[in-house]
Structure 1
Amino acid sequence: MNQLKRTPMYEIYQETGVKTIDFGGWELPVQFSSIKKEHEAVRTKAGLFDVSHMGEVEVKGKEALPFLQLLMTNDVSALSQGQVQYTAMCYEDGGTVDDLIIYKKADDDYLLVINASNIEKDLEWLHFHEWEGVSVTNRSSEVAQLALQGPIAEQVLQTLTATDLSNISFFRFQDGVNIAGVNALVSRTGYTGEDGFEIYCDNAGAPILWKKILDAGANEGVVPCGLGARDTLRFEARLPLYGQELTEEITPIEAGIGFAVKVKKQENFFGKVRLKQQKEVGPERKLVGIEMIDKGIPRTDYPVYSGDKKVGTVTTGTQSPTLKKNIGLALLDKAYTDIGTEVSVDIRNKQRLAKVIKTPFYKRSEK
């Protein structure tokens, strides 16, 4: 049996007695209190997540931009220094290698943040296409990542740094920020649908920041959060999870992240031909939101029917902690994707009625 990997936060998990599980080969907590409490804290106040299992890869050199333009579906040339971009990497057939975010540190220096379950696969893909003038370096084992998410995230984090966090706008970052004595890269990004920050530092700094942030937010209702709330939060905001909404068989267009696919850019990136066709004529299947009319919760991999015909599959589903409704994301044949279309979900061998609804299920109100 393989030894589970641990983040720099593991000793704190042991101290607090929180239960951990095997999450893609990592020993991580599902919850500290309860998924619903942690979910609500992020929606109303703030929650702190350990996401140090994510991968970090440096791409450097004078050929870094042409290299990334070939590998990425988004237009990396549009990035300015200090800016972050969401993108996908695809195979030639348009299937998804991974979805990720890119940090532009300089014209010849980029940081890719990739999904933990895809680190080895992504590195193999990147190294296979590497050429002279570009270097790809895996920094995943050296970099820890915490995410402070929620309406009061800025207010709490600001008490620990002299850097004016209000100057870091959405999908921007600042490197070399001193937070409670720890040197960090801070970006206004996240995976919850709320305002907040993702904080990158060395492994030794993560436990220090974890304790300092929770102490700073203790009287404000900031709580530690596990994988469970991270999943329900991202799901309500319709943020895809690789392995469910995106796979080697599901293209970014089918998954509804066509905004990150720039088929008009000059470079012939991997998957461009198929993705351009899907953008122009529409994909034969699409990811949509569904809400249960009958009782039952649509779970991952449950088949979806129209009459006796299977028309798709649920990718993610749960009872929404915010909306108190049984909802799901489902990849359905194009003919069944209009808002209001009724379908049925096979829940434990019983057909349960549902309808297609608008997404995202949750969108935070702008101040």
Structure 2
Amino acid sequence: MATPTTTPALKQTALNATHRKLKAKMVDFGGWDMPVEYSGLIAEHMAVRTGVGLFDVSHMGEIQFRGPNSLAAVQRITMNDASRLKNGQAQYSALLTPEGTFVDDILVHKLGDNDYLLVVNAGTTDKDFAWIRKQVGAMQGAHVSNYSTYYSQLAIQGPRAPETLQKLTKVDLAGIKNYWFTWGQVAGIHNTMIARTGYSGEDGFEIYVPSDVATSEKAWDAIMEAGAEFGIIPCGLGARNTLRLEAGMPLYEHEITEQTNAFEAGLDRWLKLEKDSDFLGREALQAVKDSGGPIRKLVGLEMVERGIARDGYPVFNAAGEEIGSITSGSPAPFLKTNIAYAYVPAAVAESKEDVFVQVRTNKVRAKQVPTPFYKRPKK
């Protein structure tokens, strides 16, 4: 008789009861019970583009490096150059395999000399931590800790985000540049990390508060109250996905995987082959560069004919040959068109020629367009 298997219980953020009270539609996201939408994906997307929205992103992982060799450890496993960071600065980067492909994309924050915080994707936190320990766990003077359960992370995103958050803190938010952070009191919560970062393509902040329920709910409620005059609404993972897609931001297991590299994904501006540190994947990526570049490239598509290019749909050339597949695709609520990302042969990407996406039984024409699809207006 077979032993019955039990499905592990979904992890919950400290705000789970709040989401349920708001009647959010909840889904299993990488093993977490998370809100995918509240009032509706389009309304939430548009609130962030035109006003302000609030996201619970406490499922994200936080891994801290401390000690005299912490920088060397971070440099060993990441593709960007963390030695360029000043205290209070963050950078986009990635953990790489020896083959130069993606373990995960991350943000690296320099908390201080010999002190770095890596924010990693939720569904890969345990995998990332195990992989990091395997790569640098034996390095003397580099202590690596997984502090993911210590933090609740809230994202206040949109053009009215600074005005919303400023009501709750004496920290001069205008003085925090993009991809910089500081510490201060927010809504009476001491030692809150306030970062001018986000995953929406808009201005905004991500704040890190202690992950107990009372503190997390206090921060959430205060932000909702402060943003009421600007029409703030809670936003779920559905809008987070369409916002990041419009803004040309990659998603792990879609645009970036353990089978793709930075040149293919168009992320090579964050790849520092010249940094004064040997790092995992450097040799493989140098070989790609020396060979003239990748044999395939990620391209942005806008549907010319009626149809939505969904993740995984095959892509064809004009001759009817299958040449690639969609990595992410959906309607773009703010742009009012249907957009997608796809990997195609480098020659096709360089030709800028139209391609065709198999949508059910039809091959639907799509044109290649520059990315990001959306850029927020300059102030």
TM class, shorter-length: over 0.9
**Is the aligned partner of 1:297 residue 2:303?**
no
CA distance in 2, matches of 1:150, 1:185: 19
1:248-288, Cα deviation, whole Å (9 max, x unpaired): 00112211111110011122211112222334422111111
**Structure 2 equivalent of residue 269 of structure 1:** 279
**Secondary structure of the structure 1 residue equivalent to 2:37:** coil
Residues 54 and 115 of structure 1 are in contact (CA less than 8 Å); yes or no, is this contact kept in structure 2? yes
CA distance in 2, matches of 1:320, 1:14: 27
1:170 aligns with 2:178: yes
**What is aligned with 1:31?**
37
Deviation at 1:123, TM superposition (A): 0.7
- Deviation track 1:72-105 (CA, whole Å, cap 9, x = no partner) reads 1000100010000110111011110000001101
**In the alignment, structure 1 residue 206 sits paired with structure 2 residue 216:** yes
Which residue pairs with 1:132 in the alignment? 140
TM-score scaled by length of structure 1: 0.98
Separation in 1, partners of 2:88, 2:225: 29
Question: Is 1:21–2:27 an aligned residue pair?
Answer: yes
- Native 8 Å contact 2:23 2:38 kept in 1: no
After TM superposition, give the deviation of residue 67 of structure 1 in Å.
0.9
Shift in Å, 1:308:
2.7
Any idea what the Cα deviations from partners look like across 1:131-185, whole Å, max 9, x if unmatched? Answer: 121111000111110000000101111011111111111110002x101111210
In structure 2, do the counterparts of structure 1 residues 279 and 192 end up closer, same or farther at CA, with 3 Å as the change threshold? Answer: farther
Letter in 2 for 1:289: G
Distance in 2 (CA, whole Å) between partners of 1:87 and 1:39 is 26
Matches within 5 A, 1:1-367: 1-129=7-135, 130=137, 131-175=139-183, 177-183=184-190, 184-204=192-212, 205-280=215-290, 281-306=292-317, 307-338=319-350, 340-367=352-379
**Equivalent residue of 1:254, what SS?**
helix
1:91-132 superposed Cα distances (whole Å, 9 cap, x missing partner): 011110000001101121110000011111111111012212
Unmatched runs of 5 consecutive residues or more in structure 1 = none
Letter in 2 for 1:107: D
Q: CA deviation at 1:339?
A: 6.3
1:187-212 CA-partner distances (Å, limit 9, x unpaired) = 00000000000000101322111100
Q: CA RMSD of the aligned region, Å?
A: 1.1
Q: Which residue identity is paired with 1:231? A: N
Aligned mates of 1:142, 1:245 — CA distance in 2: 29
> Could you tell me how far apart the structure 2 residues matched to 1:330 and 1:90 are?
21
Quick check: 10-19 or 283-292, which moved more?
A: 10-19
Counterparts of 1:364 and 1:208, CA distance in 2: 30
TM superposition shift of 1:326: 1.2
CA offset at residue 319 of structure 1?
1.0
Amino acid at match of 1:79: L
For 2:284 and 2:368, locate their aligned partners in 1 and report how far apart those are by CA, in whole Å. Answer: 26
**How far is 1:347 from its partner?**
1.1
Equivalent-residue separation in structure 2 for 1:320 and 1:172 (angstroms) = 29
Regions of 4+ moved over 4 Å: none
SS in 2 for 1:267: coil
TM-score (norm 2): 0.95
- Secondary structure of 1:8's counterpart equals coil
Query: For 1:17-52, what per-residue CA distance to the aligned partner results, in whole angstroms no more than 9, with x for missing partners?
Result: 222111111111111101100100000011000000
Structure 1 residues 234-255: Cα deviation after superposition (integer angstroms, max 9, x where no partner): 0000000001010000112211
Deviations 1:269-317 (A, max 9, x none): 1111222233442211111101112211001011111123221110000
Distance 1:164 1:337 in 2: 44
- CA distance, structure 2, for counterparts of residue 4 and residue 151 of structure 1: 34
The answer on whether the counterparts of 1:45 and 1:150 sit within 8 Å (CA) in structure 2 is yes
**Residues 339 and 357 in structure 1, CA contact (< 8 A), matched pair in contact too:** no
- Tell me the distance in 2 between the aligned counterparts of 1:349 and 1:335: 27
* CA distance in 2: counterparts of 1:190 and 1:99, whole angstroms: 14
